[in-house]
């Protein structure tokens, strides 16, 4: 029926991102095994032909390529190394791909444990958000061995357009950390610049006409800044997930004795917003810190 | 000989930016009076037909539109209000345009004093750097009265493409502060992200392939970040001038009791670099702070 019918794909973690990503793989004709903590989120994929599995381990036992997209590093740890986890049940030759933004050291541990089972592993976090996931235009930053990357590439290409092998195990996560570190301070700058403009009585739409095309321009100012001006704080990316990412980056930096004061400041401000109940707002809601 | 021969333009401050800007006005056929602290910088313009004047006041006495583009607020203060300054000698009906990035409160004072002499005044700082000046593609952020803006617009259009009246006197300077505030934290983020990537052993060109097209993208990452990766710290914009701008923004924010912690951090890091002798490097040399 299709050319892919020998490569069985498993997908664990069917949140907003994961559901879209898994859907593209199903659309491409791959047999798809799925698991999610709450089963209801799998219903639509199962109705379209995906096979429900009772545990992450069951997904692994039935799949040649296992993709995971969950929330926090402790979730990753559980689905890979827990009682009913992936590593214990993975079949020799399988490739395990964690696309969660997670700890680089955990990625290295997964790769090492997978190797003992004769499996390959890649860390492959993404950027591009819900829209990137639904349009199959994610940027995918990959760490791992070249052979595993080559084998996984046709599947990754169903979900993203900018797919780059950054180095060995953990390099994908480290690259994602670079991305989040740049963003953390950039959004602080956007919020501070717009807070200044509003306080001094400027019309912020008019300000954006002047500053949106020059040295301050970029996604954070031109897209998220425009939302701030409209008072739109709906999540493209949740503050609570961003705090997770910044925590991972700070821990890695501390381990390397690299002082990143602006990152530390951003994490502190976002923590305060989370304490005030803004964790499920988009990252641009940092603007509220300056409006108090 | 040309349609502009009744509008006499004066230009005070012929540094790298000012020379290019004045040259465009001369090329457009306007009679041009010039002054600069060191006369040699006027030689080329004088050879092309500009008239040298011995003081800023002499420029003002001979011009219908007086443009100033100098270094620091104290320079602005001196050329406008000093013994041989512009305000004392300006002719009724003239328009005085300060394009220096300077204090919003000083801009308001110039406007008030100019009004007493029957003159209009605009604050009109620019963005776009040397290249924007030489290509006549500056963004010009203007504060002042609509009538003065309308009268000055044909001249401003010889130097820039994105020319926006942001509000009353000082609004141009305030808008430029918004721009600099956004940039201050953005370049910290770019430097911290790249410092992290280098420390962890990633190839930064490859990192930029992954992160340069998404939510971290922008002028600071894609243009200045690329220079950092090449080890190019030559000035597009001097650190010592940036410190001046950040100081003005912090003073204004303090006056409004607006706490901008990321801006304050950026100013502190740049001060340290200046103390270490990097003041004449480009702003991307902030990367050196993280390489110590």
Q: What is the CATH number of the domain that holds A192?
A: 1.10.1040.10
Which of A127, A129, A263 has the CB atom closest to B192's CB atom?
A263
Q: Which residues of B touch A183 (CB under 8 A)?
A: 189, 215-216
**Per-residue pLDDT reduced to its tens digit, B50-83:** 999 999 999 999 999 999 999 999 999 999 999 9
Q: Which residues of B touch A195 (CB under 8 A)?
A: 258, 260
Number of CB pairs, chain A paired with chain B, less than 8 A apart? 247
Asked if B166 and A207 come within 8 Å (Cβ–Cβ), the reply is yes
Q: Which residues, 6+ apart, have CB-to-CB distance to A55 below 8 Å?
A: A35, A84
Q: How far is B89 from chain A (nearest CA, A)?
A: 32
Asked if B189 and A182 come within 8 Å (Cβ–Cβ), the reply is yes
Q: Which residues, 6+ apart, have CB-to-CB distance to B272 below 8 Å?
A: B289
- Does position A3 have pLDDT exceeding 60, yes or no? no
- Say whether both B133 and B195 belong to one domain: no
Q: Which residues of B touch A212 (CB under 8 A)?
A: none
Which of A174, A193, A261 has the CB atom closest to B197's CB atom?
A174
| Lowest-pLDDT choice from A4-8, A165-169, A262-266, A283-287 | A4-8
The residue in chain B having the minimum alpha-carbon distance to the alpha carbon of residue A255 is: B200
Q: Would you call A67 helix, strand, or coil by DSSP?
A: strand
- Does position B2 have pLDDT exceeding 80, yes or no? no
pTM (2 d.p.) = 0.96
- Say whether both B50 and B130 belong to one domain: yes
- Say whether both B113 and B154 belong to one domain: yes
A96 sits in which H/E element: strand A95-98
- Say whether both A186 and A147 belong to one domain: no
- Say whether both B154 and B180 belong to one domain: no
Residue B158: active-site member:
no
- Say whether both A27 and A80 belong to one domain: yes
Identify the band that residue B250 occupies on the pLDDT scale cut at 50, 70 and 90.
very high
Q: Where are the beta strands (DSSP E) in A124-221?
A: 126-127, 138-143, 160-167
Q: Using the 3D structure, point to which of B152, B169, B186 is the last residue of a domain.
A: B169
At A248 the pLDDT is 98
**Per-residue pLDDT reduced to its tens digit, A86-131:** 999 999 999 999 999 999 999 999 999 999 999 999 999 999 988 9
Give the CATH number for residue A115: 3.40.50.720
Q: Which residues, 6+ apart, have CB-to-CB distance to B172 below 8 Å?
A: B107, B122, B123, B124, B125, B140, B141, B142, B143, B144, B166
**Two tokens at A259?**
């002082």
- Say whether both B28 and B140 belong to one domain: yes
At A235 the pLDDT is 93
- Say whether both A200 and A278 belong to one domain: yes
Q: How far is A130 from chain B (nearest CA, A)?
A: 12
At B5 the pLDDT is 55
Mean pLDDT of B162-191: 98
Q: Which residues of A touch B207 (CB under 8 A)?
A: 166, 175, 178
**Per-residue pLDDT reduced to its tens digit, B199-214:** 999 999 999 999 999 9
**Per-residue pLDDT reduced to its tens digit, A170-229:** 999 999 999 999 999 999 999 999 999 999 999 999 999 999 999 999 999 999 999 999
Determine phi and psi for A35, rounding to 5 degrees: -145, 145
Q: Which residues of A touch B206 (CB under 8 A)?
A: 164, 166-167
User: Of A116, A176, A230, A268, which is the active-site residue?
Assistant: A176
- Say whether both B160 and B216 belong to one domain: no
Residue of B176, B193, B229, B286 to mutate for A, most A C-beta atoms under 10 A:
B193
**Spatial separation of the C-alpha atoms in residues A266 and A284, rounded to whole Å:** 12
Number of domains present in the structure of chain A: 2
- Say whether both B217 and B84 belong to one domain: no
**Per-residue pLDDT reduced to its tens digit, A214-266:** 999 999 999 999 999 999 999 989 999 999 999 999 999 999 999 999 999 99
**Spatial separation of the C-alpha atoms in residues B64 and B119, rounded to whole Å:** 10
- Please give the mean pLDDT across all residues of chain B: 96
Q: Using the 3D structure, point to which of B134, B152, B169 is the last residue of a domain.
A: B169
- Say whether both B66 and B150 belong to one domain: yes
Q: Using the 3D structure, point to which of A113, A140, A169 is the last residue of a domain.
A: A169
- Say whether both B56 and B72 belong to one domain: yes
Beta strands at A138-143 and B138-143: parallel, antiparallel or unpaired: unpaired
Nearest partner of A235 among A117, A129, A135, judged by Cα: A129
- Does position B292 have pLDDT exceeding 90, yes or no? no
**Per-residue pLDDT reduced to its tens digit, B114-140:** 999 999 999 999 999 889 999 999 999
**Spatial separation of the C-alpha atoms in residues B264 and B256, rounded to whole Å:** 15
Query: A64 is in which domain, residue-wise?
Result: 3-169
Mean pLDDT of A38-57: 98
Asked if B177 and A190 come within 8 Å (Cβ–Cβ), the reply is no
At B161 the pLDDT is 96
Asked if A213 and B139 come within 8 Å (Cβ–Cβ), the reply is yes
Q: How far is A127 from chain B (nearest CA, A)?
A: 7
Which of B175, B181, B188 has the CB atom closest to A210's CB atom?
B175
Is the ipTM here above 0.90?
yes
Is-contact B282 B227, C-beta < 8 A? yes
Mean pLDDT of A51-68: 98
User: Of B117, B137, B158, B176, which is the active-site residue?
Assistant: B176
Asked if A189 and B175 come within 8 Å (Cβ–Cβ), the reply is no
At B216 the pLDDT is 97
**Spatial separation of the C-alpha atoms in residues A178 and A175, rounded to whole Å:** 5
At A4 the pLDDT is 47
Which of B219, B261, B266 has the CB atom closest to A215's CB atom?
B219
- Does position B3 have pLDDT exceeding 60, yes or no? no
DSSP B218: B
Which of B129, B177, B214 has the CB atom closest to A128's CB atom?
B214
**Two tokens at B292?**
């110590």
- Please give the mean pLDDT across all residues of chain A: 96
């Amino acid at each position: 029926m299709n050319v892919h019918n020998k490569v069985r794909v498993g997908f664990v973690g069917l949140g907003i991102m994961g559901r879209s990503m898994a859907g593209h793989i199903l659309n491409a004709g791959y047999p798809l095994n799925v698991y999610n903590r709450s089963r209801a989120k799998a219903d639509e994929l199962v109705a379209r032909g995906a096979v429900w599995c009772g545990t992450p381990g069951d997904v692994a036992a039935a799949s040649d390529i296992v993709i995971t997209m969950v929330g926090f590093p402790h979730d990753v740890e559980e689905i890979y190394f827990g009682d009913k986890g992936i590593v214990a049940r993975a079949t020799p030759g399988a490739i395990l791909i964690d696309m969660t933004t997670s700890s680089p050291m955990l990625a290295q541990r997964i790769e090492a444990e997978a190797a003992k089972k004769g499996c390959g592993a890649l860390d492959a976090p993404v950027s591009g958000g819900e829209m990137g996931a639904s349009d199959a235009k994610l940027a995918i930053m990959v760490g791992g061995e070249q052979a595993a990357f080559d084998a996984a590439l046709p599947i990754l290409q169903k979900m993203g357009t900018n797919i780059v092998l950054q180095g060995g195990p953990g390099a994908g996560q480290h690259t994602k950390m670079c991305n989040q570190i740049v963003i953390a301070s950039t959004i602080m700058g956007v919020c501070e610049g717009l807070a200044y403009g509003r306080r001094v009585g400027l019309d912020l739409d008019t300000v954006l006409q002047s500053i949106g095309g020059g040295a301050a321009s970029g996604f954070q100012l031109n897209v998220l800044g425009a939302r701030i001006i409209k008072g739109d704080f709906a999540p493209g990316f949740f503050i609570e997930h961003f705090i997770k990412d910044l925590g991972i980056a700070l821990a890695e930096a501390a381990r390397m004795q690299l002082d990143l004061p602006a990152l530390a400041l951003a994490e502190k401000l976002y923590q305060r917003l989370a304490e005030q109940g803004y964790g499920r707002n988009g990252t641009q809601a940092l603007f509220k810190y300056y409006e108090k």
